[in-house]
Amino acid sequence: MQNQDHSSEEEEDELIRLLLKRQSELNSLLEVTRAINKNVATPVLIQMLEVILQNYLQVGVFRFLIEKNGTFACVSKYGGEVEPTSALNRACATLNKVKSPESLAGNTNDVLKKYDYFIPIYVKSKAVAFALIGDFNTSGEMLNNDLNFIQTMINVVVVALENKKLFRERLQSERLRREMELAAEVQNMLIPLRMHKDESVEIDAKYLPHQNIGGDYYDFMRLNDHEFLWCIADVSGKGVSAALLMANFQASLHAWVTVEDDLTNIIHRLNQKVISDTQGEKFITLFIAKYNEQTRKLHYINAGHNAPILYANGQTMPLKLGTTMIGAFEELPFLHEGEVDIEPGCLLVNYTDGLLDIEAYGDNLWDEDELMNFVAMNGELSPETFNHDLLDHLKTQVKGKPIDDITILTLRIF
């Protein structure tokens, strides 16, 4: 009778111990779940896992690795002599077919034989993490329970970390999408002019954005009854920073042309403004020109930009005089203003480097000389027809693929 009573007491003690352990496991899961719902930082979540393993489950040695970019990075380690992550990767690669917790007793691998159990974590048949535990003395009926609980706990943490990663990626994607939308909005405000015609000049502009929002800009301004000015520019870089810099440039340009007659002074002022805004980290290439209808004189400065092409009487001439790009030097190393007499019916073709930076098909050539030839052959067309035929030529004859924004600003001066 006494033996039976003693056996019954042992069973009750074991049941109580098991119930307490289950309660401890549930509390641990609850704590981790609450932490995940509060979006605690990753190091805090890892630390909670370590505390649970050490204090509740008496795991003396632990290595926890998570898949990142095709390899496994160790995100948690305590106890024992710490091996290089590469050694852990190589050792655990020998267990790549193991899908559930497995004893490492008798394993001959120099790394694995130091541990008691290998615990893999799979998501949709893909190994996303694994853990090695050592100095773990649970046995008997509690062993399977403890191993399954450890696997469950690690799985919960892995899923939480993966969700954090996906959330960051979504935020980054949304931020990038909004940045591109904002840059596009800014850029659309910078290039409001598409077509213009009066008794002195006819203008047509084409803007073809590439995948990224760039820094192309062009403008046309009437200064008074007998003068007008135009500008075409390209800022280094992409996205919002480029668009905002160009918006600032536009504002400065409009401000200075209203109070300054001399193009040389305007360029110096613009260079100082860009240097002040960017500290030399970005630069702008530009071509600016002012035409007087009474004198038929065209004054221009080319600041490191692709040379516009002047067509008159079957002849073409690039407008190259000027200076280097603005924003690169606090003081421009040289500055020469060009002057040209404009005959009635001249065509002026302005463009950004995207027009030449294309991937031509096969042996088809497309460079500045080819563009000059095209202008010479088509210089009598209206600006709108010229721009249309030029883009059609790129598509059907050159068969090139643009790799940057393309901007074309074509003027016919009567």
Average of pLDDT values for 73-97? 91
DSSP 208: E
Place of tokens 């990224």: 212
CA 313 to chain centre: 47
What number of other Cβ atoms are within 10 A of residue 223's Cβ? 14
- Predicted confidence at residue 71, as pLDDT, reads 86
Calpha distance 377→347 (Å, rounded): 12
Go through the domains of the chain in sequence order and give each one's CATH number: 2-169 (3.30.450.40), 191-413 (3.60.40.10)
The token pair that represents 234 in the structure block: 């390209």
Distance CA 113, CA 124 (A): 29
Reported confidence tier of residue 51, pLDDT bands at 50, 70, 90: confident
Distances (CA, A) of 191 to 215, 219, 291: 11, 7, 20
Give the CA angle between residues 223, 254, 225 to the nearest 5°.
5
> What confidence score (pLDDT) does residue 33 get?
79
In angstroms, the CA 195 to CA 174 distance is 35
Q: What whole-number distance in Å separates Cα of residue 271 and Cα of residue 327?
A: 5
The most confident of the ranges 142-151, 205-214, 324-333 is 324-333
Residues constituting the chain: 414
In this predicted structure, the answer to whether residue 363 has a pLDDT above a threshold of 60 is yes
- Distance (Å, rounded) from C-alpha 391 to C-alpha 408? 10
Q: How far is CA 139 from CA 57, 58, 143, 239, in A?
A: 12, 12, 5, 61
Predicted confidence at residue 153, as pLDDT, reads: 85
Can you tell me the distance from the alpha carbon of 346 to that of 27, in angstroms, rounded to the nearest whole number? 84
Question: pLDDT band at 150, cuts 50/70/90?
Answer: confident
> Coil, helix or strand for 366?
coil
- In percent, how much of the chain has pLDDT > 70? 88
pTM: 0.61
* 3-class DSSP state of 341: strand
Do β-strands 216-222 and 61-68 pair in parallel, antiparallel, or remain unpaired? unpaired
Token readout for 268 is: 């110096």
- For the cut 70, the answer to whether the pLDDT of residue 139 exceeds it is no
Confidence at residue 355, expressed as pLDDT on a 0 to 100 scale: 92
The confidence score (pLDDT) of residue 22 equals 66
